[in-house]
Amino acid sequence: MAFELPPLPYAYDALNPYMSEQTLQFHHDKHHQAYVTALNNLTKDTPLADKSLEEIVKATYGDASKQTIFNNAGQHWNHILFWQVMRKNGGGAIPGELEAKIKEDLGGVDQFKEAFTQAGITQFGSGWAWLVVDGGKLKVTKTPNGENPLVHNQTPILGVDVWEHSYYLDYQNRRPDYLKAFLENMVNWEYVAELYSKAS
């Protein structure tokens, strides 16, 4: 079964002015589609063709001969989550159970936002910043390129793309401004809380 590019769960202009219609069209329709197309071409007529996306990510991690497959599978998985953790009029209050867990494990909402922002800022080059569930606890982490927390036995519940194509049209080289806008105005905290409930 070939992988497909899922449609965005909102209109292209839904995240304006924090993420422009041009950025969403370019990022979703061109970049994400390219990962899907490459992944289908790379796995066609191989034993991986019948595997789930998560299985492919885990099976190809650390195997130099399958690095290109891993890169595209990881990026496909990462972007599926990325689109879902954002919404129109995002940001705002974090649902109670998740907020309490953030306070317990990360010291508070402000401390979490600072740690998450720093993870995104300090990820050299391309990559991702994450909020994950690891051994029953919330942790902030980061990964390079298309790598994701699944390969470290962690469950991602929030991820932000810090590849330049995700923000350069709107923020140029101001990655900290992009990360602030993401946390304060784009995150779908209800969906993140739902993922936390499933993971905990």
**Segment 16-71, tens digit of pLDDT:** 999 999 999 999 999 999 999 999 999 999 999 999 999 999 999 999 999 999 99
> The whole model's pTM is what?
0.96
CATH H-level, domain 21-85: superfamily: Fe,Mn superoxide dismutase (SOD) domain (1.10.287.990)
Tokens of 103: 């306070």
The yes-or-no verdict on residue 1 having pLDDT over 80 is no
- The binding site for Mn(2+) consists of 27, 79, 161, 165
**Segment 108-142, tens digit of pLDDT:** 999 999 999 999 999 999 999 999 999 999 999 99
- The binding site consists of 27, 79, 161, 165
Tally Cβ neighbours within 10 Å of residue 28: 18
Instruction: Considering the chain, tell me which residue range(s) the CATH 1.10.287.990 domain(s) occupy.
Output: 21-85
Instruction: Considering the chain, tell me which residue range(s) the CATH 3.55.40.20 domain(s) occupy.
Output: 96-199
At residue 188, the 3 state secondary structure works out as coil
Q: Which CATH architecture has domain 96-199?
A: 3-Layer(bab) Sandwich (3.55)
The yes-or-no verdict on residue 200 having pLDDT over 90 is no
Peptide linkage before 17 cis (omega within 30 of 0): yes
Rounded mean pLDDT, 158-165 = 97
Residue 20, pLDDT score: 97
Instruction: Give the DSSP H or E segment for 171.
Output: helix 168-171
Phi, psi (degrees; rounded to nearest 5) at 136: 85, -5
Residue 25 CA to residue 3 CA, distance in Å, equals 19
At residue 154, the 3 state secondary structure works out as coil
Mean pLDDT of the chain: 97
The yes-or-no verdict on residue 159 having pLDDT over 90 is yes
